Each structure stands twice: as C-alpha cells, then as structure tokens.
Amino acid sequence: MSLRRPLLALAAFATTLGVFAADFAIRDGDRVVFLGDSITEQRLYTTYIEAYALTRHPDWKLGFRNVGWGGDTAWLRQRAHPDEGRLFAAEGEALDGMVTNAVARGLGRDVLPHRPTFVTVKFGMNDHSYQMFRPDIFRAYARSQAEIARELQAAGARVAFLTPQPIEERRPDPDKDDRNLSLRQFSDGLKDVATQTGAGFVDQFQPFMDLMMTARATDPKAFIGGGDAVHPGPSGQLLMAWAVLKGLGATAPVSSVSIDATGSKSSAEGCTVSNLKVSADGVTFDRLDSALPFPVDDRAVPALGLAPVVAELSRYTLTVTGLPEGDYEVGVDGETTLKTDSKSLAGGVDLTRNAGAVTRQSQEVLKGVFRKNDVYFERWRGVQLHNFPGWAKGPEVEARRTAELQRLDTEVANLEKRIDENRKPRGHTFTVRRVR
C-alpha cells in the first residue's frame, strides 16, 4: 500500500522549518559540531547533513565532528551527571548554578576543544522523561538550552537548536500519545529559547509527525522511520536530515543543462558544457559540474516515496528539446543510466540517482564520511574517554592511550583528505540516444 504524500503539501514545510535566512547556515571555513543524544550518536542524520554540505560545496574548507551521547539531555546528564532530583526542584539562582556548572563541564570536555564555529543542538527526547509534560523538567530543559547557547556563542560559535522528532509507536493516532504531546510542548518552548538567545531554530517534529499521520491514514500499521519508536533507521533519519537541511537554508539546485537539438544550442547553470554534437540519433556532450548531487543512502531509499527529498535538496537535471518523438537512453561515459522518452526529456529529467559515474562518486563521498565518523567515534569514546579501573591505571597505560589517539587522529585526517579529493567534480561525457 503506497505511503506517498502529495509533494505540494509537503513543500509548504519549507516556510515553517526554521528562522535562518535563505543562505545556508553552514559556511565556508566552518568547524561544525553535532551535539545531542543517542539519535545523534547513531551518526545517520548528521552524516547525511555533512555529505550534503561537502558535495554541494566541494571547494569549501569544512570540518565536522559528532559528539552525540546516548541518554544525554540538555543539562548534559551523561557528561556532567548533575543530581536531577535537585535540578528539577531548583529555581532561580539555585537552578542557574547547577545548570551553569553542568553545561560548562560537558561543553568544556566534548565540544569546545574542537573550536566550533557552528553547532547543532538536538535534545528533548530523554529530557521529557517519556511522560506527560512536566513544568519542572521543562524549566530545567529551557534553562539548560539557553546556557548551552550562551556558552557556545561566547566561544564564537553560531548555534542552531533542533527539536526532537516524535515517537513512532505503532498506533493510528501518534499525535495523541502523551509523550508526543509533551515533546510538542518542549519543541514550542525551545523556539522561545532560540528567539531569546538569538540562536537558530529548526522544527523537525511537525514535518515528521505530519508524515506519520498521512501514512497512518492509509495504513494504521505504517512505520515510516524504520529502527524503533525512538531511534529511526536510515529512512527515518533521511527524513530528519531533509527537514533539518531545509530549516538550515539548504537549496535544491546542483547543476542543469538544457540543449536545443534543433538549433544545436546549449545553456548551463552550475556546470560547463563542451563538445556538443547533434545527430539523427540524439546528442552527445561533455559536462563538468561545479558540485555533486546529494548522495542518498541506499538503505534510506524508502524515504524518497514519503517526502520530496531529491526535489528539494538535489536538482541535477538534463533537458533536451527538439528531439524526434520516441524512446531514448541517457548515458554517462558509455554506461546507460536512464531510459526515458522525448516528452520527459523536453520537460527535464533529474539524474541525481541516475548519473552513473557521477552518482557513484557522490556515494563514495557518503561512504567516506560514514567511515570517518565511525573512526572518530572510536577515538573519542573508545580511547579518549575510556575509563580504566584503578588497578590498570598508570604511566604505561596513558602512554599507550596517547599513541592510540595519535594513530586514530592520523587515520581521521587521512580519511578527510580522501573525502576532499573525492568530492571534487570530474568531467564526463553524456549521451542521449534514440532507441526507437
């Protein structure tokens, strides 16, 4: 049963997802840090966002680190371990003191050493404690988020708050789930915090909820996110990345080529066209792009039937008019990548996922980013923060830790160098050939 949502309705989300201007929030030279809980630690939506930035802006110097921690909260529970009973009961100066101490400790160890210039902050799932809305918990949450923004901004970083996505239980009315009603209140309150602190704000809760509700209207047992109710799998996290990227000002155009076969003319945006040849069988030309199309994780393809991910994040198009009516094959470097017809070509076809070597190059960037992020996670959590028992501690152990950190830092640097090499577009020969 199809779960496809009308694209026009979804396009309206672009006007409500964020408070950033049209310019992309990530900029050339940025050192980006993703801060959050286990959903961030999964290294899925964050990797998709990173891959978008790297492929869309291959000449930018960018660095990304993921410091998500399972079970964490805005008061940095997993990093600073405040007494939550006292925290929720505290108000005024007592609350300020506890929050300031916890946030300073957590950011000081895990975020600020990266000298970030842009940080996304995604908390709320654990904060609401999986129950009906509690004002005492929300008070601690809002104060902690404001303190995170203050600390990061004082260190020179721009901040974007991301709401949590809703919980996806297998019920026909997830919007009536007490936990989701609480998460909605936390998300609305987070928007106020963003306004007060001058931080960015992206609401991914409502787009995800609307997708769930549309799916449940068709199939009460539909489960759009994969994974489990709290931790979406690749498909659900691609939907999250789509919402976040739109909220951060990401745009769709990659490059476009338009060819008039009758006049042997071409025009292009975001790329250059050379060696155009027109024959009775079709056209051939060389294309060198300025960017790569957005790489879609093969495991996340079901998301493409639920939201206009490619249409809104990756327009990599080819238009050919003036062709004789009939069926055609589009090829890249001699490899057939798409079978279509003259009418579709005249209207323009998107080749994001059907550009042969171009698509594979983009996918290699995504694979490299996944690998780099996994190695960094092992470096940070498995080595830097590994807590040896007292009987095992000593100079020799710490010397071995230092050596392993250096080895993993080198591996991360080499992987980043390879990613930078792979994200530079290469020239390719495109053909459009009539088959009947």
List, as one string, the DSSP characters of 160-173.
EEEPPPPP--SSS-
265-269, strands of its sheet edge to edge? 265-269, 253-260, 315-321, 349-350
Q: Going by C-beta distance under 8 Å and a sequence separation of 6 or more, which residues neighbour residue 12?
A: none
Instruction: Please tell me what DSSP assigns to residue 345.
Output: H
Domain boundaries, position 428 = 252-436
The structure tokens listed for 350 are: 């998107």
Cα 281 → chain centroid: 41
218 shares its domain with 344: no
95 shares its domain with 225: yes
192 shares its domain with 262: no
Instruction: Check if the beta carbon of residue 346 is closer than 8 Å to that of residue 356.
Output: no
284 shares its domain with 372: yes
283 shares its domain with 201: no
Q: What is the domain-level CATH number for residue 136?
A: 3.40.50.1110
Ramachandran area for residue 225 (φ above 0: left; ψ -120 to 50: alpha; else beta):
alpha
> Residue 369 to residues 66, 249, 250, 422: CA-CA distances in angstroms?
11, 22, 19, 11
Report the largest interatomic distance among the alpha carbons of the chain, rounded to a whole angstrom.
81
pLDDT at 5: 34
Compute the distance between CA of residue 25 and CA of residue 250 in angstroms, rounded to an integer: 8
Q: Going by C-beta distance under 8 Å and a sequence separation of 6 or more, which residues neighbour residue 313?
A: 52, 242, 245, 246, 250, 251, 252, 294
390 shares its domain with 276: yes
Residue that the structure tokens 């498995």 belong to: 382
pLDDT at 3: 34
208 shares its domain with 349: no
In a domain, 1, yes or no: no
260 shares its domain with 240: no
pLDDT at 7: 35
pLDDT at 292: 98
Report the DSSP beta bridge partners of residue 329. Answer: 339, 433
- The domain tally of the chain equals 2
pLDDT at 263: 87
The structure tokens listed for 415 are: 């992987």
pLDDT at 62: 98
In a domain, 2, yes or no: no
- Rg of the chain over CA atoms, in angstroms? 24
Residue 307: phi and psi, rounded to 5, are -145, 155
Neighbours of 390 (CB within 10 A): 7
Domain C-terminal end among 247, 264, 298: 247
23 shares its domain with 110: yes
* pLDDT tens-place values along the chain, 436 residues long: 333 333 333 333 333 334 443 599 999 999 999 999 999 999 999 999 999 999 999 999 999 999 999 999 999 999 999 999 999 999 999 999 999 999 999 999 999 999 999 999 999 999 999 999 999 999 999 999 999 999 999 999 999 999 999 999 988 899 999 999 999 999 999 999 999 999 999 999 999 999 999 999 999 889 999 999 999 999 999 999 999 999 999 999 999 999 999 988 999 999 999 999 999 999 999 999 999 999 999 999 999 999 999 999 999 999 999 999 999 999 999 999 999 999 999 999 999 999 999 999 999 999 999 999 999 999 999 999 999 999 999 999 999 999 999 999 999 999 999 999 999 999 999 999 999 7
pLDDT at 14: 35
Report the DSSP beta bridge partners of residue 257. Answer: 268, 318
Domain C-terminal end among 224, 247, 270: 247
pTM reported for the whole predicted model: 0.94
Domain C-terminal end among 228, 247, 266: 247
301 shares its domain with 227: no
User: How open is the CA angle 175-47-293, to the nearest 5 degrees?
Assistant: 100
Where are the alpha helices (H) located in 272-351, listed in sequence order? Answer: 309-313, 342-347
Exposure of 340 in the CB half-sphere (CA atoms within 13 A): 23
278 shares its domain with 231: no
In a domain, 147, yes or no: yes
Which among 426, 267, 436 is positioned nearest to 360, based on CA atoms?
426
In a domain, 415, yes or no: yes
Instruction: Check if the beta carbon of residue 66 is closer than 8 Å to that of residue 51.
Output: no
The structure tokens listed for 56 are: 């869309």
Compute the distance between CA of residue 323 and CA of residue 432 in angstroms, rounded to an integer: 10
pLDDT at 226: 94
Query: Reduced to 3 states, what is the DSSP secondary structure of residue 286?
Result: strand
116 shares its domain with 231: yes
